[in-house]
Amino acid sequence: AEEEEGDVEWVVDTIAGFLRGPAWSIPILEFMEQKCEVFDDEEESKLSYTEIYQEYQALVEKLLEDYLKEVGINEEKFQEAFSSPLAKTHTSQAILQTVLAAEDFRLFKKMMVQKNIEMQLQAIRIIKERNGVLPDCLTEGSDVFSEIEQEEMKILREVLRKSKEEYEIEQERKRNEE
């Protein structure tokens, strides 16, 4: 039993190392950045989400299968190690989340919406850095905007502010867990 536990620990450590490394994180991050823009926080999911989700599942499966084959870990050992309590203590939730998202659509959608918000906030920050200020269309500018459009911008800014706050709270919670 002790040898088996050591075996599980080795599998968990090996997989955790892989999930933290560039062979996993780069393709996953690139996928998320390329596909996240269609995801929004609407209650109803779009058909395109399903197609992207299936692509994500295939990517995760291929990356994991290739790696497991490379290091000689069979599916059974992986499942055993992945569901062991060690997996939760040796890897952060953020790392596990990318794997679990392939099994849980709601988690996948949440992850993609969050990535979309991050990318939007990043774009706004870049615009501000390049121009020194945000363009009028992203501020209170009363140029060619109708009152309705201005109202929509206020709502959008409020949504972005709230989502940024929620994102920061979530990041703080993750840091505290680690």
> Computed from CA positions of residues 137, 142, 145, 146, in that sequence, does the dihedral angle turn out positive or negative?
positive
Rounded mean pLDDT of 3-30?
86
Both structure tokens of 69: 């084959």
2 against 20, higher pLDDT = 20
Entry field: residues in the chain: 178
Identify whether the C-beta of residue 90 lies closer than 8 Å to the C-beta of residue 12: yes
pLDDT of residue 72: 93
pLDDT reported for residue 59 = 97
Spell out the residues 6+ positions from residue 114 whose beta carbon is closer than 8 angstroms to its own: 167, 170
Q: What is the pTM of this model?
A: 0.67
φ/ψ of 134, rounded to 5, equals -80, 145
Return the minimum-mean-pLDDT range out of 21-30, 44-53, 89-98, 122-131.
89-98
